[in-house]
Structure 1
Amino acid sequence: MSDLDPTIPDLTFVLGGARSGKSAFAERLAAQSRLPVTYVATAAVSDEPEMRARIAHHRDSRPAHWETLEVGRDLAGALRDVARDGRCVLVDCLPLWLAGWLCPPDDHPEGPANDEQWQNVVDTLAATLVSLPGKLVVVSNEIGLGVIPMGSITRRYVDELGRLNQRVAALAPQVRFVVAGLPMAVKG
């Protein structure tokens, strides 16, 4: 919660396109807070060399003293477990978390979420974000600026990420959009 108003979450939402510099900017915000940082990683580690390389790059860019928590589908539960007054929690990123719900690996026991399940998950995350103590920085991709995707699953993913981004942006007192490494204030 904010020191100025305990009813307002200390939440900064950072958006940007692929390779826009949004994660680096979010990491700078976390470091500048001068608080202990917990980095909540939402990427599922896979055997794909390209994905392993991306995850390694992100790990190497973070200070070694930051705590890292790799989460699966229960992002809200993980946030409740680690958020504390006097601590900064950095979530990177919502699109990979969404992919775990809508496009899970073939061997995932629950399979993809249906519309009702997904809506319940988003409602739970939204309620959690506004109730957490401490500082929170959440990263997401803005993918709604490109071409209309082909295929129903891709359209659903783009639609749901857009709705999720709108929901989090409405809750966040501060929203930043990063383009070519340059953050722009969208809100707050």
Structure 2
Amino acid sequence: MMTLIIGGSGSGKSAYAEDYMISISEDRKKYYIATMQIYDEEGQRKVERHRMLRGGKGFSTIEQPIDIGKAAEKMETGERTALLECISNLTANEMFSGEAPGTEEVITKKIVGGITALNRQLTHLVIVSNNVFEDGNVYDKTTMAYIRAMGRINQKLAEMADEVVEVVVGIPLVVKPKRV
């Protein structure tokens, strides 16, 4: 089963996703798949803050900034759930980790393929992503390619997901309900 949780920056989507994971995990092993690359002190502070906020919640953290499909190789066998945080970091890492930015099509295919492979190996996968189309600004060519890739990935993940929830000002709104 896969759940996509989406929202704008500061919407409360991460806190909702963690609480959601705890509610569905039962006795299964819980993994937190962290995708953020740390480049500076600000990034390090953000990672430490997130670790502190999820402390005591029973998550085992896996650092997987690229090649998301390989995250399952770092998990124990058996029934397990995972929270992937987040698609925007993963997309940026994949798109800009080489000498030249990857194309929208290549990055979308790689990320969606990796998530498909990961989802097959889990009891439940919860994915956090950003809604990147809310500010209405037009950016440089490279940034617009990133935004379009995020849009494509979010659309494909929403299509694949059993449930989609948008978090707006801390309020979860079910966009695609689970089928019973």
Question: Normalising by the residue count of structure 1, what TM-score does the alignment of the two structures yield?
Answer: 0.83
Match of 2:94 in 1: 101
Q: CA, structure 1 residues 14+116, in 2 after alignment: closer, same or farther (shift >3 Å)?
A: closer
From 6, 9, 12, give the equivalent of 1:21. Answer: 12
Q: Alignment partner of 1:139: what SS?
A: strand
Q: CA, structure 1 residues 115+186, in 2 after alignment: closer, same or farther (shift >3 Å)?
A: closer
How far off its partner does 1:36 sit? 2.3
Question: Normalising by the residue count of structure 2, what TM-score does the alignment of the two structures yield?
Answer: 0.87
Match of 2:110 in 1: 121
Aligned-residue Cα RMSD (Å) equals 2.0
Structure 1 or 2: larger helix share? 2
Match of 1:87 in 2: 80
> Number of residue pairs matched?
174
CA deviations over 1:34-56 (Å, ceiling 9, x no partner) = 23210000001222x22222111
Structure 1 gap segments, 5+ residues each:
1-9
Match of 1:41 in 2: 34
How far off its partner does 1:177 sit? 0.1
Q: CA, structure 1 residues 32+15, in 2 after alignment: closer, same or farther (shift >3 Å)?
A: same
Q: Is residue 143 of structure 2 the alignment partner of residue 154 of structure 1?
A: yes
How far off its partner does 1:118 sit? 2.0
From 44, 49, 69, give the equivalent of 1:57. Answer: 49
From 164, 167, 174, give the equivalent of 1:178. Answer: 167
Structure 2 gap segments, 5+ residues each:
none
Match of 1:6 in 2: none
Q: Do the aligned residues in 2 keep the contact of 1:83 with 1:134 (CA within 8 Å)?
A: no
The amino acid across from 1:152 in the alignment is: K
Q: Do the aligned residues in 1 keep the contact of 2:8 with 2:131 (CA within 8 Å)?
A: yes
Q: CA, structure 1 residues 83+151, in 2 after alignment: closer, same or farther (shift >3 Å)?
A: farther
How many percent identity over aligned positions?
29
